[in-house]
Chain A
């Protein structure tokens, strides 16, 4: 099972496009499924499930942003706002019409996709930093609109409380139940993205990213694909926003401000642009590292400082280490954690006969 291929023996397109090029990949996925579906929820405490839940939601958002930034080469710093569009759409539908989550969730995604296409329209004319500023404007306009239109925001507080989702009579009100709910959507997002990028559409995205003029010459309608990329990416963001809404039990635009857009950009840059695994690594890294650092500092620091002093020391130190580690990882491997992982893998692939 562990032996590897000694060359490239793919003779059909089907083999070349297979999701699992090697049997080991299939086994690995089966093992992961077993661990995530059975072992983890039974073995770990609620606290760790809560962290995993946050990671699952972040994965959906990071994947969406990576489709746009990593695969299509367009930039957006308006994804926080797209999340809020999804969140408020779902919250309004859930509260005013009493719709269940399996209707509000796609509706939130679709509304975000629509807004995403509108905000993405400048991408037809401009690139790079200019597009970044255009999407920043989108972020601010959406924030302002939600804040000032009570029909959307539900009043001066701009927050709408939603009931917990329920499924077959189970109210998803514990971390354990929400775990399965969020795991399902994280897996769905991963599989969807994996399939998207090996389809005609995904390849068109990559062609647009690598050289848009060449892509146009070989017959790719770049306008269409740029907007499609914005739509799909915003759809993911919208769904991410809906998941946050159901997870917190409230839609509140202050949860989706500019800093969220930046956080998600950081995730995909640290994880690796243009890779599914990179989005996952990035989401895990950005969510988990501050927590691990704090636990580490609490333990080490309690030997030296009193509790009150420690709280002061930890915050600053943690931020400095966090920033330092990001710089460190990007210097060691500019292409992100995904590339780092692939380097490790190829090292062990030929180990111990590396020459």
Chain B
């Protein structure tokens, strides 16, 4: 047994020494990005596709000489969707001098909001965290940089209105949601819009883990018979919902899903693209591989003699990773330019992030405009519909009921 103990001690000593040696490499012409990911936890299906997209974009920038002459070094930490590892990750990024970091996960974002502000390092959380984080005055270092659930709710109603002929008066809309805080978050927006637009709203909660919703869908399809369904589900639940709607005979063309029920994998798991004809999905990043930046990444791989990454096929999540990386790079680019080429501090990078405007990467990113007050960038979404075996764009970048969302943000801010 002593042998084992000695071997263990030896291994840890090597680890510590090696770690200490690794630190000596810090370079002048280098900026450090921290990036959290979940490749092994409950949301691994997202992380294993999204995070390679992030790395590929950074590699692309590095292969073209970096950002304004600075090479980017990414430190990735897999937080397994647990909170304590996310705290450890943040401290690691801080120690290595990261100028910004990508967050992963809603509870992790919540637990780090305060720390980010204290340490003056910005964190981006596209698709995670609360709608209130869009308010840059309340959370100065948290950047959702993608449509929040409130904005998505507004956009969903806008889309439904268009589909139902421009008037919602007297129409019936069902909202089926995962019964957790994220699922319940859009309710105040939907309720207010139901009053102002005159439609009837009924909500159907799906309890965790969301794999059993036969009763709710039957209720919707056979009893309530709404004119449209807005679905806000996570994990396995979107696939199950597609199957159930199909099975109960409710047309999928009258269903619009929030951003976490809208990946190719969700649709394929529900029986394939062909079976889900008409299913509408909201997206905060472009879908598909028909973008110059994606082609550039493929070319980069080709130049290295490798095939294009297989994650690319799952373009919804992959492109979201690219979006996150692109916003990071752009923020740093702004900061370096503003400083005349000198290496920026994390506060200057935050300032750079708040001045991103008109950066769309050929349509992969929405026409976001970040300001010190609006860290969401406007809350833009696209709607993509399953059509002929693939996702096709049915509605270009749009915002829904912006004034209602801004009113709620202001009300929420005055509460705290």
A residues with CB within 8 A of B: 45-47, 50-51, 54, 58, 147, 153, 156-159, 161, 164, 173-175, 244, 247-250, 252-255, 259, 263, 287, 290-292, 294-296, 298-300, 302, 306-308, 311-312, 314-316, 318-319, 332-333, 340, 343-344, 347
**Is B55 a contact partner of A307 (Cβ separation < 8 A)?**
yes
Distance of A277 Cα from B21 Cα, bound (Å): 33
A351 to chain B, nearest CB (A): 10
A-B contact pairs, 8 of them (CB 8 A): A157-B181, A159-B181, A249-B114, A292-B12, A308-B56, A312-B52, A315-B37, A333-B1
What is the chain B residue whose CB lies nearest that of A47? B95
B90 to chain A, nearest CB (A): 8
Distance of A291 Cα from B18 Cα, bound (Å): 14
Distance of A180 Cα from B379 Cα, bound (Å): 42
**Is B52 a contact partner of A147 (Cβ separation < 8 A)?**
no
Q: Which of B15, B22, B84 has the most CB of A within 10 A?
A: B84
**Is A296 a contact partner of B11 (Cβ separation < 8 A)?**
yes
Distance of A120 Cα from B5 Cα, bound (Å): 39
- With an 8 A cutoff between CB atoms, is B88 at the interface? yes
Chain B residues with CB below 8 A from A54, complex form: 84, 87-88
- With an 8 A cutoff between CB atoms, is B184 at the interface? yes
Return the 3 tightest CB-CB contacts between A and B, nearest first: A308-B55, A249-B114, A50-B91
Which of B69-77, B243-251, B359-367, B382-390 lies at the binding interface? B69-77
* Beyond A259-B82, A291-B85, A299-B22, 13 extra complex contacts between A and B, CB < 8 Å: A47-B95, A51-B88, A157-B132, A173-B118, A248-B87, A248-B114, A248-B115, A255-B107, A298-B22, A299-B21, A306-B59, A308-B55, A311-B51
Distance of A340 Cα from B19 Cα, bound (Å): 27
A304 to chain B, nearest CB (A): 14
Chain B residues with CB below 8 A from A290, complex form: 85
What is the chain B residue whose CB lies nearest that of A291? B88
Distance of A134 Cα from B11 Cα, bound (Å): 42
Give the contacting residue for A250; candidates B5, B51, B76, B110; CB below 8 A.
B110
Contacts A248-B83, A307-B73, A312-B52 hold; do A296 and B18 have CB atoms under 8 A apart?
yes
Distance of A347 Cα from B1 Cα, bound (Å): 11
Give the contacting residue for B91; candidates A175, A255, A318, A340; CB below 8 A.
A175
Contacts A294-B77, A312-B48 hold; do A250 and B180 have CB atoms under 8 A apart?
no
Distance of A175 Cα from B92 Cα, bound (Å): 13
**Is A311 a contact partner of B91 (Cβ separation < 8 A)?**
no
**Is B87 a contact partner of A147 (Cβ separation < 8 A)?**
no
Give the contacting residue for B18; candidates A248, A295, A306, A319; CB below 8 A.
A295
Which of chain B's residues 29-67 have a Cβ closer than 8 Å to chain A? Answer: 37, 39-40, 48, 51-52, 55-56, 58-59
Chain B residues with CB below 8 A from A173, complex form: 118
**Is B181 a contact partner of A46 (Cβ separation < 8 A)?**
no
Distance of A58 Cα from B63 Cα, bound (Å): 43
B residues with CB within 8 A of A: 1-2, 4-5, 11-12, 14-16, 18-19, 21-22, 37, 39-40, 48, 51-52, 55-56, 58-59, 73-74, 76-78, 82-85, 87-88, 91-92, 94-95, 106-107, 110-115, 118, 130, 132, 179-181, 184-185, 187-188, 416
**Is B110 a contact partner of A159 (Cβ separation < 8 A)?**
yes
Give the contacting residue for B15; candidates A299, A318, A319; CB below 8 A.
A299
**Is B37 a contact partner of A311 (Cβ separation < 8 A)?**
yes
Question: Binding site of B, secondary structure by majority: helix, strand, loop or mixed?
Answer: helix
**Is B91 a contact partner of A51 (Cβ separation < 8 A)?**
yes
Chain B residues with CB below 8 A from A291, complex form: 85, 88
What is the chain A residue whose CB lies nearest that of B15? A296
B131 to chain A, nearest CB (A): 8
**Is B4 a contact partner of A332 (Cβ separation < 8 A)?**
yes
Chain B residues with CB below 8 A from A244, complex form: 83
What is the chain A residue whose CB lies nearest that of B22? A299
Chain B residues with CB below 8 A from A46, complex form: 91, 94-95
Distance of A231 Cα from B179 Cα, bound (Å): 30
Distance of A294 Cα from B75 Cα, bound (Å): 11
Chain A residues with CB below 8 A from B16, complex form: 295
Distance of A175 Cα from B90 Cα, bound (Å): 12
Distance of A249 Cα from B118 Cα, bound (Å): 11
Contacts A159-B110, A311-B55 hold; do A255 and B40 have CB atoms under 8 A apart?
no
A88 to chain B, nearest CB (A): 13
Contacts A156-B184, A290-B85, A315-B39 hold; do A252 and B91 have CB atoms under 8 A apart?
no
**Is B111 a contact partner of A311 (Cβ separation < 8 A)?**
no
Chain A residues with CB below 8 A from B111, complex form: 248-250, 252, 255
Chain A residues with CB below 8 A from B188, complex form: 156
**Is A50 a contact partner of B107 (Cβ separation < 8 A)?**
no
Contacts A298-B22, A308-B59 hold; do A50 and B88 have CB atoms under 8 A apart?
yes
**Is A296 a contact partner of B14 (Cβ separation < 8 A)?**
yes
Distance of A87 Cα from B185 Cα, bound (Å): 21
**Is A314 a contact partner of B12 (Cβ separation < 8 A)?**
no
Distance of A260 Cα from B125 Cα, bound (Å): 23
Chain A residues with CB below 8 A from B179, complex form: 147
What is the chain B residue whose CB lies nearest that of A251? B110
Give the contacting residue for B107; candidates A254, A307, A343, A344; CB below 8 A.
A254
Distance of A314 Cα from B5 Cα, bound (Å): 24
Give the contacting residue for B114; candidates A158, A161, A253; CB below 8 A.
A161
What is the chain A residue whose CB lies nearest that of B129? A157
Contacts A292-B15, A307-B55, A344-B5 hold; do A315 and B78 have CB atoms under 8 A apart?
yes
**Is B130 a contact partner of A157 (Cβ separation < 8 A)?**
yes
